[in-house]
Amino acid sequence: MKNSPVRLATCLFLAVAASAQAQPAEALPAAARANFARPIVLGPDDIRAFPEAPDGFKTPRAGLPQGRIDLFEYDSAVTGTRRKANVYLPPGYSADRKYPVLYLLHGIGGDETEWIRFASPNVVLDNLIADGKAVPMIIVIPNGRALPDDRAIGNSFAPERAAGFAKFERDLLDHLIPAVQAKYSIFTDREHRALAGLSMGGGQTLNFGLGHLDTFAWLGAFSSAPNTKPPAELVPDPAAARAQLKLLYLSCGNKDGLISISQGVHAYLKEHAVPHLWNVDDHAHDPATWGSNLYIFTQRIFR
C-alpha cells in the first residue's frame, strides 16, 4: 500500500474523532483504536463501481425549489422518553400525494444532527430531485442510540452506551416508523421503505434491515462498523434475500481500517448469489465517503 501504517492510523483516528464528536484519538478505547488500525488487504472486487459525487453535489443552488427539515418528536416505550428525529420533506411536499421514506442512521458518536452536519442530505436531495435523478422522498434522520439519555456525550464506546444502538431496533420498528406514518403522507409498504446508515448506522442497517425484509426493501450500508453481525447470521436464507431485496448497496473506503467487515459481507453475498452493489472508493472512515455514497444510493432507490 502507498500509505504508511503511521499515516493510515492517523487518518483513521482523525476520521473516527470526527464521527465521535471530535473526540481526540488518544481518548478512544484501546479496542476502538485497534479496530481502526486493522491492516487493509484489497482484493480484485474492491474497486469503484461508481464515480465520486461531483463538485457542488451538496451545495445549495440558487433558484431551485427547496425542501425543509422538520424537528419530529415521538414517544418510545423502549426508552420511556419522548425522542427526537429530523425529517426532510422534499420540495412541494403535499398531503395530497404519498411519498417513499428513507430512514438514515448516524455513527457511534453522532445523533439526529450528524448527517445534516456531515453531508447536508436535504441539499443533496433538493439538487437530485431538481435534476430528475432522484424520486421525491422523505428522509427520517433519528437518534439511533435508544437510551433514556440519548445525548452524544461521554464515551460512546462504553458498553452501557453502545448497547443503545442494538436497542434501537425495537424503537425503530415499534415506535418511530408508526409515528412517522401517523404524521406524514407516506406509503406504508416495504417497497417504499429504505434503510441506510454510516459506520455504526451501517451495521444497524444490515442487522435490522436484513433481519426484517418484510419491512425494508432497500438497504444502504456505508463503512459498516464492528457491530455488524457475521454474514451467515445476516443472511441465513439467501433465497429469501434474493426474492425480497430491491437493492442492497455496500460501500467503504480503501483507506478504512474497517473495510474487512464490508468485504466479508460482500464475499458472502457473492458466494450465495445475492445481488448487491459493492462500491470501494478512495476515502478513509470519513464524511467524504458517506456524502458521496448517499448521493449514489439515493438515485437508485424507489425506482
pLDDT attached to residue 29? 60
pLDDT attached to residue 3? 40
pLDDT attached to residue 31? 57
Q: Residue 263 contacts by C-beta under 8 Å, 6 or more apart in sequence?
A: 43, 46, 252
Q: Residue 139 contacts by C-beta under 8 Å, 6 or more apart in sequence?
A: 87, 88, 101, 102, 103, 104, 121, 122, 125
Domains for the chain: give ranges and CATH numbers: 5-198+287-298 (3.40.50.1820)
pLDDT attached to residue 244? 98
Cα dihedral 35, 40, 45, 49 in deg (nearest 10): 70
Is residue 196 within 8 Å of residue 280, measured between CB atoms?
A: no
pLDDT attached to residue 10? 34
**Mean pLDDT for each consecutive 10-residue tract of the chain (303 residues)?**
37 40 47 72 98 98 97 98 98 98 97 97 98 98 97 88 95 98 98 98 98 98 98 98 98 98 98 98 98 98 97
pLDDT digits (tens, 9 = 90+) for 106-137: 999 999 999 999 999 999 999 999 999 999 99
Cβ neighbours around 10 below 10 Å, total: 15
pLDDT attached to residue 26? 43
Q: Global pTM?
A: 0.90
pLDDT attached to residue 157? 85
Distance CA 75, CA 211 (A): 24
Distance CA 261, CA 283 (A): 16
CA 78 vs CA 145, 156, 196: distances in Å = 11, 19, 21
CA 45 vs CA 233, 239, 263: distances in Å = 23, 23, 9
Cβ neighbours around 95 below 10 Å, total: 7
pLDDT attached to residue 9? 37
